[in-house]
Amino acid sequence: MATRAPREDFTDDGMSVTHPKTWAAGVPGVYHALEISWKQMGTGRTVRTLPLLNQKHGFDCPGCAWPDPDHRSPAEFCENGAKAVAEEATVRRVGPDFFREHSVDELAEKSDWWLGQQGRLTHPVIKRAGSLHYEPLSWDEALRTIGDRLRSLDDPDEAVFYTSGRTSNEAAFLYQLFVRGFGTNNLPDCSNMCHESSGSALSETIGVGKGSVQLDDLHEADLIVVAGQNPGTNHPRMLSALEKAKKNGAVVVAVNPLPEAGLMEFRNPQSPVGVVKGAQLADDFLQVRVGGDMALFQAVGALLLEREAERPGSVVDRSFVEQHTSGFEDYRAQAATLVWADVLAATGLTRAAIEQLADRFESSRRTIVCWAMGLTQHRHSVATLREVVNVLLLQGNLGRPGAGVCPVRGHSNVQGDRTMGIFERMPEWFHDRIDEEFRFTSPRVHGYDTVAAIEAMRDGRARFFMGMGGNFVRATPDSAVTERALRSCAMTVQVSTKLNRSHAVVGEVALILPTLGRTERDVQQAGEQVVTVEDSMSAVHASRGTLKPASPHLLSEVAIICRLAREVLGDRLAADWAGFEADYRTIRAAISRVVPGFDDYEKKIEHPGGFTLPHAARERRWNTASGRATFTANELYYPKVPEGRLLLQTLRSHDQFNTTIYGLDDRYRGIKGGRRVVFVNPADLAVQGLVDGQHVDIVSEYADGERVAENFRVVEYDTARGCAAAYYPETNVLVPLDHKADVSRTPASKSLVVRLVARDAAPAGAAVATAVGAST
């Protein structure tokens, strides 16, 4: 079938646009969360579930990876965590009848929202070659069918094994082992599209690809810069940490093309005072142009160096630089070549605003920079993050309390999956250790990352796809190319909790293997099991599901992997797959022998808050090439936008978790009842001869041609000049597959050169664009 976009996405009937909010959370947030929970779960399940969220004896929130504080409030969850739970714990079901009723082609025309609303998958099903419908089959037959296909491949590298970031440590460890036992490193994951740029830049410069700060550091910081992140929606519990930091005297600076509600003001739903009064979180807001952060951090670094030259010893932490770093002289030489005209063009900021940010850095003794996708999903993301590190190194802001780097992770166990070996190019020592533990020889040739996997399927070099969670078809760039690539596979297999587009855009044969979610009891031969996860700050802790599984036919991810491994590998590895399935403690015992930092794993997770993995850079030990923290000299890059074009970023609304759409509202941005909107600065609209309310096609322009996302309603909005924003995944069709970050190869979905093409005339009576913003 030709690739067609989901049909229902093309309407904005009933959509309304009002003024964006300048504050986040508070009573409407809690009310909204409960309303969604009641609809999906009913009252009883809501009351039984939400109180266990993120509690020491409960389950880890399947939402974001923000850490849990030591002293937890009785309601340690946020509006969006509650929505994530409701999605999983819903009482709605997708069973064999559903698939008899709806063909695969029909499902491919449904919107992401519609698909997600259908409920939990209950039976293993298969779409056989030539058939248009999925039909149920037994687990044994399903695993045998997959095994037959894998055995029939000419080369193990013709298979691709994707992982999304909800998979537990136990399942992730066994999955990578199975895949490497099968003979390939083709282990792309959602991290390739997410914080890969952070991992690349941090490993190179400080020797650990993870954040260096703990929650207490945030509470103790003098200055916290939040760049390229929208915590009010995506990490709401982070706002409590920022609020606490501010109470302790911290200055918070937001760097963002959009004045995101949570950063401007926060009303803490967990404190009666907070609900009423609210606290302004960001002391300064730098409305940077999309892709301008590299220039901003270069300029701040150059200013700090200038001031140091004027008043030696007053700005730069010289003893730190001398004792702990390399590359300083090259960095200083590069900084001296800074051209302010470029900085102002790249950032769209005034020199005074940038000087003020330099003042903030200069007067802070303990500085933390937090970031998320606004910094990682650009062509020059790795270079941008190197510049963030440069500025922190200048003042010795690494490896001391209240200071450091804080990449804020997305999926709840994306960091743990990487620790467990979900990576297409794990280091040699990891291979040596699994080889020794399981007595085999794992393949050493690097595998495909996400973009390479799509290219391989597109070019016929890969013919088998398996997804351990996630929604590969929808999360990836260049939707038309990616969908064709998936459809050309001989077999696609999805291990999933909920229906999504990856079940509808499939290979010749397709299987859905339904699995337990985080909220559900996982009972195996040895009794009730716990799994473990690692949060954004390297804390590993246990998660215990409590709800009755959505269907008696579900298997846990661990059980699916163990049975598939027995089917495909037999006893090729010295791995007791049956034992692993029966008792997850045996998996943790194996992990503790393979992965550093996990000694006494079982014992340490008995401690309610779990344990924190070692982080060398925190202790000022540098596992870099030079053995020191590394300054880098980077030539300035920023996206140049031709006349009449805009720089489009693709981002999340308040009512979605990645490709799972909870609803059609984006409360903080004033959108109700629709998702096909494009936010544009009023002055740019005027230049383009467009008005608010008009409909446009968004056309991205790249060397290999144009790509079109049809029919978006224009919304005038307070974003940086020359920039625009629209929701992902509807706009993934616009991102060329090779438009990706240098080094990390992350799709550059935050900076797309586009033009807007009017589909209709301006609505009758439309006024000339006016300024929007500051009303509540």
Ligand X SMILES: Nc1nc2c(c(=O)[nH]1)N[C@H]1C(S)=C(S)[C@@H](COP(=O)(O)OP(=O)(O)OC[C@H]3O[C@@H](n4cnc5c(=O)[nH]c(N)nc54)[C@H](O)[C@@H]3O)O[C@H]1N2
Provide the phi-psi class of 718: left if phi over 0, else alpha when psi is between -120 and 50, else beta.
beta
Nearer to Mo ion, 194 or 735 (CB): 194
Peptide bond between residue 729 and the one before it cis (omega within 30 degrees of 0):
yes
Q: Which partner from the list Mo ion, ligand X, none does 145 bind, CB cut-off 5 to 8 Å by kind?
A: none
Shortest reach from residue 333's CB to ligand X, in Å: 27
* End-to-end alpha carbon distance in the chain: 48
484 touches 224 (CB < 8 A): no
Residue 284: CB minimum distance to ligand X, A:
13
Task: Spell out the residues 6+ positions from residue 627 whose beta carbon is closer than 8 angstroms to its own.
Answer: none
Neighbouring-strand partners of residue 528: 523
Q: Which stretch binds Mo ion (CB under 5 A): 181-189, 408-416, 479-487, 591-599?
A: 408-416
Chain residues binding ligand X by CB under 6 A are 63-64, 80, 164-166, 190, 193-194, 227-230, 233-235, 255-258, 260, 288, 290-291, 293, 372-374, 377, 410-411, 468-472, 475, 495-498, 500, 515, 517-518, 557, 649-652, 656-660, 728, 731-732, 735, 749-750
Task: Give Cα 37 distance to the centre of its chain.
Answer: 23
**Residue 90, contacted partner among ligand X, Mo ion, none, CB below 5-8 A by kind:** none
Tell me the HSE value of 233 on the side-chain side, using a 13 A CA sphere: 23
- Least distance from C-beta 387 to ligand X, angstroms? 12
* 267: number of Cβ within 10 Å: 22
- Least separation in angstroms between residue 560's CB and ligand X is 9
Taken in order 545, 550, 551, 556, the sign of the CA dihedral is negative
User: In the complex, what is the shortest distance from the CB of residue 288 to ligand X, in angstroms, rounded to a whole number?
Assistant: 5
Residue 450 near residue 189, CB atoms below 8 Å = yes
- Contact present, 3 and 480 (Cβ < 8 Å): yes
Read off the tokens for 760: 């209709």
Minimum Å distance from CB 373 to ligand X?
A: 3
Q: How far is the CB of 662 from ligand X (least distance, A)?
A: 8
410 binds Mo ion (CB under 5 A): yes
Task: Choose one: 147-155, 213-221, 402-410, 429-437; the region binding Mo ion (CB under 5 A).
Answer: 402-410
User: Between 315 and 489, whose beta carbon lies closer to ligand X?
Assistant: 489
Please work out, in degrees rounded to the nearest 5, the angle formed at the alpha carbon of residue 640 by the alpha carbons of 639 and 646. 90
x/- track of binding to Mo ion for residues 454-483 (CB under 5 A): ------------------------------
Q: What contacts 57, CB < 8 A, 6 or more positions away?
A: 544, 608
**Residue with smallest beta-carbon separation from Mo ion:** 410
Backbone angles phi, psi at 48, to 5 degrees: -80, -25
190/504 with CB nearer Mo ion: 190
Nearer to ligand X, 507 or 736 (CB): 736
Closer residue to Mo ion (CB): 194 or 554: 194
- Specify the stretch interacting with Mo ion by CB under 5 A; choose among 190-198, 240-248, 629-637, 695-703: 190-198
Q: How far is the CB of 544 from Mo ion (least distance, A)?
A: 25
By the rule CB under 5 A, 194 interacts with Mo ion: yes
CA distance 588 to 33: 35
Q: Any idea what DSSP says for residue 597?
A: T
46 binds, among Mo ion, ligand X, none (CB under 5 to 8 A by kind): none
Site mask, Mo ion, residues 149-188, x = CB under 5 A?
----------------------------------------
- Quick one: which of 579, 605, 603, 588 has its CA closest to 526? 579
Closer residue to ligand X, CB minimum distance, 324 or 675: 675
658 close to 412: Cβ distance less than 8 angstroms: no
| Residue 651 interacting entry, from ligand X, Mo ion, none, C-beta within 5 to 8 Å by type | ligand X
What CA–CA distance (Å, rounded) separates 504 from 483?
Answer: 10
Least distance in angstroms from the C-beta of 726 to Mo ion: 18
**Strand ranges in 446-496 using DSSP code E only, listed in sequence order:** 464-468, 491-496
- The stretch among 254-262, 409-417, 618-626, 715-723 that binds Mo ion (CB under 5 A) is 409-417
CB of 628 to ligand X, least distance (A): 29
With CB under 5 to 8 Å by kind, the binding choice for 224 among ligand X, Mo ion, none is none
CA distance 164 to 414: 7
- Judged by beta carbon, residue 410 or residue 514, the one nearer Mo ion is 410
Which helix (H) or strand (E) segment holds residue 203: the answer is helix 196-206
Residue 726 near residue 678, CB atoms below 8 Å: yes
Residues in the site for Mo ion, rule: CB under 5 A?
A: 194, 410
